[in-house]
Structure 1
Amino acid sequence: MRVDDRRGGPAAAVGVRRAVGTIINLLAVTVRLIGLAAAAILLVRIGLAFVPVNPGNVIVEWIVKFADIIVWGFRDLFLPTDPRIGLVANYGLAAVFWMAVGLIAAGLLSGLGLRVAGRSRS
């Protein structure tokens, strides 16, 4: 049986730790992408408010419905007289929230993946 010099454990256990670390790192990348995609959809929704679009278009309907779902508790946070300004403030804040949550969660998962794999951030 081969022994890993760094930990003194069996080489198979080191391989399993590295595989689990890789899976956690892939999960971190996925979480980061989901957060950025949610922010991008919210930003596209903001842009749609300022250009003339066909509200009956399937793509526009999908973006508006999905943005209304992921805007979460930010929808009526600011209520200025111009509804477009409210949309920019509320949906923009929600976009920043989703980017921050995605990046923080991905960073935590990435650190966990490195720790499980037996490596350190350098």
Structure 2
Amino acid sequence: MAQHAESERQSSRAKVAGIFASVVRWIGLVFALVLVVHILLTVGSANPANGITSFFARVAEPVALGFKDLFTPSDPKLLVLVNFGIAALFWLIVSSVLAKVIRRLG
């Protein structure tokens, strides 16, 4: 009986860790997607006054963390491509590593 209860607890713990890891991974993917869409709209010369373009620009700013001004090339499109691209890679890598750690701890 005690062994069965312990096995159930471990199984429940693994399920919760798996769900939490999935949530962390999805958050990282959504952040990276927002950054990539912002990059595409900027590099593609989308109208900055358009609601979609301004929405992604507003959301991408805080998601880029300290990367948004890491490099300062004179071309504004290159600035967005490089800095926000690095931020997108950061979110993909960090969320993937965190999800693996969470699953292992679970």
Q: TM-score, normalised by structure 1?
A: 0.79
Q: State how far apart, in whole Å, the 1-side matches of 2:98 and 2:77 are.
A: 31
Match of 2:57 among 47, 64, 74: 64
Flag as ranges the 4+ runs of structure 1 deviating above 4 A. none
- Report which stretch shifted further, 10-19 or 42-51: 10-19
TM alignment of 1:46-61, pairs within 5 A: 46-61=39-54
What is the match of residue 94 of structure 2?
101
Instruction: Name the structure with the higher helix share.
Output: 2
Structure 2: segments with no counterpart, 5+ residues: none
Aligned counterpart for 2:19 among listed residues 26, 33, 52:
26
1:16 CA displacement? 1.8
Paired residues, number? 106
Matches of 2:76 and 2:48 in 1, distance apart?
A: 17
1:1-122 alignment, distance < 5 Å? 2=1, 9-113=2-106
Decide whether aligned partners of structure 1 residues 80 and 64 sit closer, same or farther in structure 2, where only a CA change above 3 A counts. same
Distance 1:29 1:95 in 2: 18
How many percent identity over aligned positions? Answer: 33
Distance (Å, rounded) in 1 between the aligned partners of 2:68 and 2:47: 22
Aligned to 2:70, what secondary structure does the other structure show? coil
Q: Which whole-Å deviations, capped at 9, do the CAs of 1:7-59 have from their partners, x for residues lacking one?
A: xx431232122111101111001111111111111011000012243433333
TM value normalised by structure 2: 0.90
